[in-house]
Amino acid sequence: METINNIPQLDEILSRPTSAAVEALRGLEGDLIVLGAGGKMGPTLARMARRALDAAGRSSQRVIAVSRFSSPAAALSLQQHGVETIACDLLDRDSVNQLPDAANVVFMAGQKFGTQDAPELTWIMNTLVPALVAERYRSSRIVVFSTGCVYPLLPVDGPGANEDTPLTPPGEYAASCVGRERVFTHFAKKHGTRALMFRLCYAIDLRYGVLLDIAQRVALGLPVDVSMGWANVIWQGDANARALQCLTHTFSPPPALNVTGLERGSVRQLAHRFADLLGKPALLTGTESALAWTWDASRSYDLFGPPAVSIEEMIEATAHWIQIGGETHGKPTHFEVHDGTF
């Protein structure tokens, strides 16, 4: 991966379609709508979809990004890259019902942070909105963004959670994410909707993510908590491509798919690696727990092969981003949390 020095370059790389994503969209008829497209990942996914359709010779198919778009600049940026935008409150049933038809849906809406202070809003966002969307797009293919946090913490010396692991997660946020999956599954069975639960586990963008959290603490001379001792990560561009490819793997009732890197990173070792790259000592606190959120993404590797970007490339890119003072979202992942309280 080339050296990344600014936001436009970063977004171009994160939205650069793989050949597999191009081929996946080449075979799909109809428009594509991204619901909840204003978050950390939605804009580059929508741009990748537009670029992939153009590369596939399907420029007439629309890519529509839906969000509240509280920032007009975010909507304008998408429009400048050929993505249509619609401002919509997905909690408003009438507004959802007025959204345009689309044969292909990527559902990305949800709430995580703030759950401890307003758990009722998290449950509404993660269960009511899916019900409204599942009814509105009952005839579409739907890739539903979920999370690896739907699984329980598991022994770190085991293989990690696979798609057959029972969903018994800690905390209200993760429980509400199970609720989101159950709601979509209910309506998929009711209407025969083809869907897939996209259980994404720690996507990495240089502006946020587990690697940035660790690297920033090293750079600032702050201790890194190693009690959650392990993490799986995947480059956001690879996650975007896999999400688009999953539109060709939707079924009713919907399957689930773990999407992350197979290589499990040691938080302790990651901190030491960033210390080497940043020329700072790694200050560590805590002791590795015998349990962690760890995942087995073998099925997604069987479907799509390995991601294009390795964990070492992500580490080096993150260290460089910090060294040049690259902009960040200022939103720590709180990956070290064990009780699911966010």
pLDDT at residue 113 tops 70: no
- For residue 97, being part of any structural domain is answered with yes
Please give the pLDDT value at position 119: 86
- For residue 58, being part of any structural domain is answered with yes
- For residue 273, being part of any structural domain is answered with no
- For residue 39, being part of any structural domain is answered with yes
Contacts of 261 (CB under 8 A, 6+ apart): 232, 233, 234, 297, 307, 311
Please give the pLDDT value at position 336: 78
Asked if residues 319 and 278 have their Cβ atoms less than 8 Å apart, the reply is yes
Please give the pLDDT value at position 259: 98
Please give the pLDDT value at position 337: 75
CATH of the domain at 142: 3.40.50.720
Per residue in 144-189, pLDDT tens? 999 999 999 999 999 999 999 999 998 899 999 999 999 999 999 9
- For residue 18, being part of any structural domain is answered with yes
Per residue in 248-280, pLDDT tens? 999 999 999 999 999 999 999 999 999 999 999
Please give the pLDDT value at position 257: 98
pLDDT at residue 75 tops 90: yes
Q: Report, as an integer, the average pLDDT of 100-114.
A: 90
- For residue 226, being part of any structural domain is answered with no
Please give the pLDDT value at position 115: 60
- For residue 214, being part of any structural domain is answered with no
- Look up the pTM and report it: 0.95
C-alpha dihedral sign at 263, 155, 119, 90: positive
Structure token pair of residue 28: 């799909």
Please give the pLDDT value at position 87: 96
pLDDT at residue 230 tops 90: yes
Per residue in 186-215, pLDDT tens? 999 999 999 999 999 999 999 999 999 999
Per residue in 312-342, pLDDT tens? 999 999 999 999 999 998 888 888 776 666 6
- For residue 244, being part of any structural domain is answered with yes
The model's confidence at residue 114, banded by pLDDT at 50, 70 and 90, is low
pLDDT at residue 109 tops 70: yes
Per residue in 27-71, pLDDT tens? 999 999 999 999 899 999 999 999 999 999 999 999 999 999 988
Query: Which residue type does 111 have?
Result: Q
Please give the pLDDT value at position 70: 84
Q: Report, as an integer, the average pLDDT of 124-148.
A: 97
Contacts of 82 (CB under 8 A, 6+ apart): 50, 54, 63
Please give the pLDDT value at position 342: 62
Sheet holding 256-259, edge to edge: 84-87, 63-67, 32-35, 104-107, 141-147, 194-200, 256-259
pLDDT at residue 118 tops 90: no
Q: Which domain covers residue 146, as residue numbers?
A: 7-202+236-260+293-307
Please give the pLDDT value at position 108: 97
What is the tally of structural domains in the chain?
A: 1
